[in-house]
């Protein structure tokens, strides 16, 4: 599939997310993790359309958002302008983040299972180490990934369908499912997007490899990357993480 089609699907899928509900759950957790965001410098890795960064900017944070998709960054800048939010959005791969941004940050966030979209566990470890170098003393790295220990043990494959619209208002319906390769610790996420054009539906398909990360892998990596104080949660409600029960893993790591 052409990259512009993938970006079109991604933007439409973004519109299918209940952002009001998601931000209502996630922003208070982020704010508490860093002890308040007013006056803090925050880096949002794989920022997508910038919703978190814009919300944090509205609370007084100085935010930089980075994403590898030109379409996502363009949409993020448009949304920031509409909200009169002073967020700096940049197009760059998070694997190159150490050479992309300058200065130190009080907090780095990386949400939406984005670390698992990197090409290898070695790359994940390098990015985490780069984040450690970008954090000011006492800074916080907060990230969320899928917990593949639970996913593989439960046999989870099929994601509930979602509906959304493109920027020009075209209706789309999305179906997603996983295929799992346990031997190589990689899953493939297949996305089918049905687009309504006039009275007919046309389908576009895309797939992306997802690393099968879990709490053991993360806990082994973090000290190597310089983090010694690590807290893990099963959700943004702050519940204690259970590797057998929680499909999400939220990590808060301190640069102490």
pLDDT, residue 2, reads 46
Cα atoms in the Cβ-side hemisphere of radius 13 Å centred on 139: 20
3-state secondary structure of 79: helix
Q: Determine the average pLDDT of the residues in 215-225.
A: 98
State the pLDDT at residue 6: 63
For every residue of 3-20, DSSP letters joined together read: HHHHHHHHHHHHHTS-HH
In the chain, ranges of CATH 3.40.50.150 domains: 3-146+213-254
Can you tell me the distance from the alpha carbon of 89 to that of 242, in angstroms, rounded to the nearest whole number?
35
Over residues 15-45, the pLDDT tens digits come to: 888 899 999 999 999 999 999 999 999 999 9
pLDDT band at 170 (very low <50, low <70, confident <90, very high): confident
Whether 114 shows a pLDDT value over 90: the answer reads yes
Condensed to tens digits (0 to 9), the pLDDT of residues 142-165 reads 999 999 999 999 999 999 999 888
Q: In what order do the strands lie in the sheet with 200-211?
A: 158-165, 171-181, 186-197, 200-211
- Fold of the 3-146+213-254 domain: Rossmann fold (3.40.50)
3-state secondary structure of 251: strand
Q: Which segments of the chain does DSSP mark as H helices, in order?
A: 3-15, 19-33, 51-58, 70-82, 121-134, 148-154, 215-224
Radius of gyration of the CA atoms of the chain, in A:
18
Taking only the tens place, the pLDDT of each residue in 86-97 is: 999 999 999 999
Domain with CATH 2.20.25 in the chain: 150-211
* Per-residue DSSP letter, 103: S
pTM for the whole structure:
0.94
Euclidean distance between CA atoms 207 and 141, whole angstroms: 28
CA of 126: how far to CAs of 121, 123, 253, in Å?
A: 9, 5, 15
pLDDT at residue 5 in the model: 59
Q: Which CATH architecture has domain 150-211?
A: Single Sheet (2.20)
Q: Residue 198's pLDDT is what?
A: 82
pLDDT tens digit string along 180-208? 999 999 999 998 999 888 888 989 888 89
Which pLDDT score, from 0 to 100, does residue 1 have?
43
Distance CA 51, CA 56 (A): 9
3-state secondary structure of 155: coil
Q: What would the pLDDT profile of 50-70 be if each residue is shown by its tens digit?
A: 999 999 999 999 999 999 999
Q: With 90 as the cut, is the pLDDT of residue 14 above it?
A: no
**In DSSP terms, which residues pair with 174 in a beta bridge?**
162, 193
Q: How confident is the model at residue 4 (pLDDT cuts 50, 70, 90)?
A: low
């Amino acid at each position: 599939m052409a990259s512009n089609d993938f970006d079109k699907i991604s933007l439409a899928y973004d519109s299918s997310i209940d952002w009001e509900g998601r931000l209502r759950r996630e922003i208070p957790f982020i704010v508490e993790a860093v002890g308040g965001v007013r006056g803090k410098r925050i880096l949002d890795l794989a920022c997508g359309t910038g919703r978190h960064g814009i919300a944090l900017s509205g609370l007084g944070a100085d935010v930089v958002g980075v994403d590898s998709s030109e379409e996502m960054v363009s949409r993020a800048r448009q949304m920031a302008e509409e909200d009169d939010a002073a967020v700096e959005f940049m197009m760059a791969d998070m694997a190159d983040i150490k050479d992309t941004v300058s200065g130190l940050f009080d907090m780095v966030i990386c949400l939406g299972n984005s670390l698992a979209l990197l090409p290898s566990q070695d790359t994940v470890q390098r990015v985490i180490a780069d984040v450690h170098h970008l954090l000011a003393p006492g800074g916080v790295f907060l990230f969320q990934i899928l917990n593949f220990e639970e996913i593989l043990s439960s046999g989870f494959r099929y994601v509930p369908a979602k509906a959304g619209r493109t920027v020009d208002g075209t209706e789309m319906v999305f179906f997603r499912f996983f295929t799992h390769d346990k031997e190589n610790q990689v899953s493939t996420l297949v996305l089918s997007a049905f687009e309504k054009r006039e009275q007919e539906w046309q389908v576009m398909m895309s797939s992306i490899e997802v690393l099968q990360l879990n709490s053991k892998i993360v806990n082994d990596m973090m000290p190597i990357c310089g983090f010694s104080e690590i807290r893990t949660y099963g959700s943004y409600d702050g519940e204690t993480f259970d590797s057998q029960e929680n499909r999400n893993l939220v990590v808060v790591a301190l640069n102490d």
